[in-house]
């Protein structure tokens, strides 16, 4: 592509910025189902910033290659726009429409400017169309990356919420586990439990697996790691929720839990923990 070809686009944008802006916004707003004044004001601001950045990038680089350094500011703005649309609940397609809506009013101006040279016009429109397709796809990619980050953050938050450490009594903690126990969740369990042991000075931790559907070799290893970590911090562990089928599975797997106290229910484990701490619960006599 020649400097002259890219110069046509830059000049059209610079000389017709207000006309382009109005035509562009009109096209964008006509495609929006959910009308919101705050969102439309933000779109107008983004559009007003986008046009001069594109013209500058074309002039500086003399190319429509959006990977060049001359397009850094354009990419930065599109990334900002994508993240903003993501927070507002827009889809990737709706986000890309921000860029694609500019093509129609821009093509009208190019046809007027280059009407006398149809061959150059056809080439310019093809190159310009490809340019804005790339920029639109860039917004989709940034939108998807942002959504992946949100999902990962939410997964981490759910892990935190699904592995609470509860103080049942002075010196006694409980970790009720529900669902599958994998490596990532085991790490969260250990971190939360160890921090709680430090905060409370607890000497016993009850790990309740009543809500764990199945126990295989990997789950058993995760439990042993948690027990070992707690012991290193000065707290003994009791595993409760050992149902008959889980007991058989552990035996068949050959997992050694001989040095770990196990109980069928959380209540049984709590009674053992009370005795080991020298505490007890007595029934009140009727008045």
Q: Is residue 57 part of a domain?
A: yes
- Is 283 inside a domain boundary? no
Question: What pLDDT is attached to residue 284?
Answer: 64
Rounded CA separation 16/251 (Å): 79
- Whether 152 is covered by a domain: the verdict is yes
- Please check whether residues 173 and 154 belong to one and the same domain: no
User: What is the model's pLDDT at position 265?
Assistant: 92
Neighbours of 205 (CB within 10 A): 28
Q: How buried is residue 230: exposed, middle or buried, by Cβ count under 10 Å (0-12/13-18/19+)?
A: buried
pLDDT for 3: 47
Domain assignment of residue 121, yes or no: yes
Residues whose CB falls within 8 Å of the CB of residue 143, separated by 6 or more in sequence, listed in order? 82, 85, 86, 90, 92, 95, 96
**pTM: predicted TM-score of the whole model, two decimal places:** 0.60
Residue 250: per-residue pLDDT: 80
Mark whether 29 and 109 lie in a shared domain. yes
The residue from 141, 158, 175 where one domain ends is: 158
Among residues 211, 147, 155, the alpha carbon closest in space to that of 181 is found at 211
The CATH number that applies at residue 35 is 1.10.490
Q: Are residues 83 and 217 in the same domain?
A: no
Same domain, 15 and 151: yes
For residue 139, give the nearest of 76, 87, 88, 89 by alpha carbon: 76
Residues 123 and 178 in one domain: no
Q: Cβ–Cβ contacts within 10 Å for residue 2, how many? A: 10
Domain that holds residue 180: 166-276
Q: Are residues 57 and 26 in the same domain?
A: yes
If asked whether residues 125 and 184 sit together in one domain, one would say no
User: Rounded distance, CA 198 to CA 192, Å?
Assistant: 10
Residues 10 and 109 placed together within one structural domain of the fold: yes
| Mean pLDDT per 10-residue segment, the chain (287 residues) | 63 90 85 67 90 92 89 95 88 89 91 89 91 94 90 71 81 88 78 91 93 81 86 92 84 80 91 88 65
The verdict on 131 and 57 lying in the same domain is: yes
| Shared domain check, 196 and 239 | yes
Task: Identify whether residues 138 and 63 lie together within a single domain.
Answer: yes
Q: How many domains, in total, are found in the chain? A: 2
State the CATH number of the domain containing residue 213: 3.30.750.24
What is residue 161's predicted lDDT score, i.e. its pLDDT? 59
Q: What pLDDT is attached to residue 94?
A: 85
């Amino acid at each position: 592509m020649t400097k002259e070809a890219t110069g046509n686009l830059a000049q059209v944008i610079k000389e017709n910025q207000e006309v382009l802006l109005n035509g562009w916004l009109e096209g964008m707003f006509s495609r929006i189902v959910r009308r919101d004044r705050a969102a439309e004001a933000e779109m107008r601001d983004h559009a007003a910033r986008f046009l001069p950045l594109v013209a500058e990038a074309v002039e500086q680089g003399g190319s429509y290659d959006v990977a060049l350094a001359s397009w850094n500011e354009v990419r930065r703005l599109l990334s900002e726009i994508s993240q903003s649309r993501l927070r507002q609940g827009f889809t990737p397609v709706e986000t890309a429409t921000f860029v694609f809506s500019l093509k129609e009013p821009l093509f009208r101006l190019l046809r007027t400017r280059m009407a006398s040279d149809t061959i150059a016009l056809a080439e310019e429109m093809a190159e310009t169309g490809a340019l804005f397709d790339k920029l639109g796809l860039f917004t989709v990619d940034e939108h998807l990356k942002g959504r992946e980050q949100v999902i990962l953050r939410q997964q981490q938050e759910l892990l935190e919420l699904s592995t609470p450490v509860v103080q049942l009594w002075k010196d006694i903690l409980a970790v009720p586990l529900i669902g599958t126990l994998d490596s990532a969740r085991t790490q969260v369990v250990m971190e939360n439990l160890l921090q709680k042991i430090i905060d409370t000075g607890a000497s016993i931790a009850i790990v309740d697996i009543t809500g764990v559907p199945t126990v295989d070799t990997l789950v058993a290893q995760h439990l042993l790691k948690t027990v070992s970590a707690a012991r290193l911090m000065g707290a003994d562990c009791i595993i409760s929720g050992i149902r008959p089928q889980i007991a058989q599975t552990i035996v068949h797997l050959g997992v050694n839990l001989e040095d770990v106290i196990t109980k069928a229910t959380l209540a049984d484990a709590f009674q053992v923990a009370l005795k080991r701490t020298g505490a007890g619960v007595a029934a009140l006599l009727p008045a």
